[in-house]
Copies of this chain bind each other. A is one copy, B any other.
Amino acid sequence: MAVELLGVAGLPEIRPGDDLAALILAAARLDAGSIVAVAQKIVSKAEGAVVDLRSVEPSARAAGWARRWKKDPRLIELVLRESRRIVKMERGVIISQTLHGFVTANAGVDWSNTGGEHLATILPRDPDASARRLKQTLGCGAVIITDTFGRPWRQGLVNVAIGVAGLEPLEDLRGQRDRNGRPLQSTLLAVADELAAAAGLIMRKTAGAPVVVIRGWDWKPAEGSAGALIRPPDQDLFR
């Protein structure tokens, strides 16, 4: 089996209100066998999930934390607003659960390459809906919205899926048996995260290839939701 990962070249800098799907269509050749991975930042920009920090009034909590750790209090305020729950707030680092339920640093608030020095991007309100809309216009087989997340235990960031359309993010092997007839031990593969990570190899951080087309990978079309990738806390023994 051969899978191909293709960075889409020639996309312009995305701005609020841009028709992202049309811009991707103009730059890439897609078909029903294509999975399109799109970096969260350009989805947020196109959808206007961009905040002018001059409009953000920091709370006392944000201001205090920002002073202590030499951060921009407006950014801290934005991180707190985008958080459902704080996991850790230590040594200037905020790890929280976003309004969607994902656990990441700074609740996905980003202030690099946002298109202006007063601008920060936040995660799309409903990344699955963003993926569905893109998929519909693109006419491809599936869409994955990706973001780079840190993880416990392991060093470094990896790209994961925060929105999906057209596939189940988890491949469930329950009931399957190994070649000795024993039930398989580990039965749930996070294929959407593996697709996101594969795309991340090409997106990288500075390379400016925020859209990657994946061809040649077999999957069963399904509606799907990245919410399935959020581990229920009562089943989380890994922490």
Q: Which residues of A contact B (CB under 8 A)?
A: 1-7, 87-88, 90-91, 93, 95, 102-103, 105-106, 110-114, 116-117, 148, 150-160, 169-171, 173, 176, 178-180, 182, 184-191, 193-195, 197-198, 200-202, 204-207, 209, 217, 228-232, 236-239
Contact = CB atoms under 8 A, between A and B. Distances in A.
Contact of A197 (B2, B95, B185, B198): B198
A24 to B, nearest CB: 16
Contact of A206 (B88, B152, B173, B198): B173
A170 B188 contact: no
Contact of A156 (B170, B179, B237): B170
B155 A188 contact: yes
A112 B185 contact: yes
Copies of this chain assembled into the complex: 2
Contacts of A4: 2-5
A188 B157 contact: yes
A88 B184 CA distance: 22
Q: Which 5 A-B pairs have the closest CB atoms?
A: A156-B190, A197-B197, A198-B198, A152-B238, A112-B178
